Chains A and B, each alone.
Chain A
């Protein structure tokens, strides 16, 4: 059974509901034994990077996640959870991430066109990089389908690991992937049928 890692950050109601809706039981826990026994892990997160990183350390989840990911267990980071997978964040200072995927969390404001609003909020279309097989996460998703974003920072310098991006006056990383580690900047649990299909594909990995 997949486990949603509970480290006290964010509201998990919609996320747990969406797994139940697709017929997948999930457990929300920070119990290390259960996490070790799980077949898949989901790392949620909203709010500030530094608070979440601190919470990951304080709950002992930081080392557990790295250990489980290195064993090859599929791991899905969502929104701030995706950003936590990267090397470093520049949100209000410099903070180390889990470094499971190379990349830096940087503000979107300097890279997007002037006049575009920040945060990047709303439904945007998924685009997949060319010359690269489609991610297994998008088994049931076609390019151009819309997903729901809410963020002011994005995964920069993830080049090789970008599995989808969204156009917003720049190509913003929509999802990343390296081996068994996956991350979506958008909220699959708020992205209608497309989002549910992404969670379904993750459950089928």
Chain B
């Protein structure tokens, strides 16, 4: 059977990983290449790179880095950030990305999902959604979580899948950074609404949080996190041993 995936996420700005990174043994802890190699050699099932650069110059640096990562790391790579047109898919796929994650670009232009899926296949298109409760309703936020679109999150995700998104990353803004576990209420609603793989993001603080995620919501395919991995609070290999001992099917290397 398909294993549950554990995915570290790297935010890259002007060619460097941002959000604290604290590893012993890495020469350059903010180097996306070194960090990607470290994760790849230590059990990550996939890597997600978000380009959070605003400038064209930074964009160029990002694709250079992506190319270098893809020439050294042979696990699936997902790339997001500044994906606004089919040309942006093309740009990162040529550099070795396997999947492309759209967020605000798809909110501005929902047709982008379908256009990209038609050209590159559904499996290539990942819809990433930032979700926050507003008066008890799950709403979609755009622009890195700064702007409430007013859209209903579940409806937006359903329409994204209908248009051809092959995978959903659900970022809960309510649990993100709190480190008290994933947003199970939100994730359950998403899992019941769609039949494509769902990646949970936001809230992981301990290994037990991942176990709870996969035990309570067997339909969730993957857990994504950044800082708990970057700071070495959770080692992916340890996490996998822990999950395997609890009966969760994971890939161990």
Residues of A within 8 A of B (CB): 11, 13-14, 17-18, 20-21, 46-47, 117, 119-125, 146, 148-150, 167-168, 189-193, 195-196
Contacts and interface: CB of A to CB of B under 8 A. Distances in A.
Contacts of A11: 93-94, 96
A110 to B, nearest CB: 16
B121 A122 contact: no
Interface string B194-225: 01110000000000000000000000010000
Closest 6 CB pairs of A and B: A122-B2, A146-B251, A17-B71, A123-B251, A123-B3, A13-B96
B114 interface: no
> Which of the listed residues B1, B5, B253 has the most CB atoms from chain A within 10 Å of its own CB?
B1
Contacts of A46: 121
Given A117-B195, A123-B5, A123-B45, 5 more contacts: A13-B94, A18-B74, A122-B221, A149-B2, A192-B253
Main SS at interface, chain A? mixed
B253 A193 contact: yes
B253 A122 contact: no
Nearest to B98: A190
Given A124-B1, A168-B1, A17 B197 contact: no
B44 to A, nearest CB: 9
Contact of B166 (A14, A47, A119): A119
Interface secondary structure of B, over-half rule: loop
Interface string B48-87: 0000000000000000000100111011100000000000
B22 interface: no
A121 B123 contact: yes
A192 B96 CA distance: 15
Interface string B150-175: 00000000000000001100000000
24 contacts: A11-B93, A11-B96, A13-B71, A13-B94, A14-B98, A17-B72, A17-B96, A21-B71, A47-B121, A117-B195, A117-B196, A120-B2, A122-B45, A122-B197, A122-B221, A123-B45, A124-B3, A146-B3, A146-B251, A149-B2, A192-B40, A192-B74, A192-B75, A195-B74
